[in-house]
Structure 1
């Protein structure tokens, strides 16, 4: 294990550090990847599209199986300092997605700020243009629970909690507790 970590750090500082800083919109200091946040090199299980539209702050951790997906015509993803995205979370940005500082996202969550078009009845949905569904903003210190879904137009205030499995669309203030489908504020 120690040898693998040593090789990871060596590869990062010799090649990947400069590569990531050129590839991403911004790439902060001490960004860690993988199941326990030990790796500096992005693991193969993490998928990233349009990295030039992804801005990662300092001291972030992104776990295995995460998909950071920006549409080529979209507005991108902003991840604040100290935030953590847990395993198998999908962040799909067509409209801007902004995560504040110290945001915690539990495994298997979805943040999606775009939809497949469906206006033309004569074409399959998958062949219609993608559409913006509104930005997603998650305030500093918020916690997104296991399997929660944040849809375009969702705004979650500072230090709010989104319960496991909740589906959120709409605007909610600071210190909110959001539960259910559709999510309702319980505080």
Structure 2
């Protein structure tokens, strides 16, 4: 099918793995989260993105195996989860960008509040860690957004195939 389909497959399964890890971490930390409402928003968006990748794998199967037909509500679920995936990617990207601009004073306060266990932690080290995490989260957001975009493209292709199949069936009946 080409490079873009291979990229679509790679991103789908890579995102399933990464989002699966994030979901497990989020579920485990839910009990200790003081801002439960924000954590639940992230959990819903992550879960929707995870489900989008599951639907993307079904779309790939439908494109590769002509005999496979997904459930009738597949197209609607795919559209909704694409939107959720784009929202999740935008939220992660915004958070990654804003974490790069944390003032030095706030980093120093965070280290002081950490207590004696953070004695060897310096603001420069914390800044380097935050930069690395920001870049990785930005790449993750980009991967989710590109996957949503590619799934939109291949969803159109699948619909065109379905329409052609229906037209051929209608022509055969006449």
TM normalised by structure 1 equals: 0.19
The higher radius of gyration belongs to 2
TM normalised by structure 2 equals: 0.20
Which is strand-richer, 1 or 2? Answer: 1
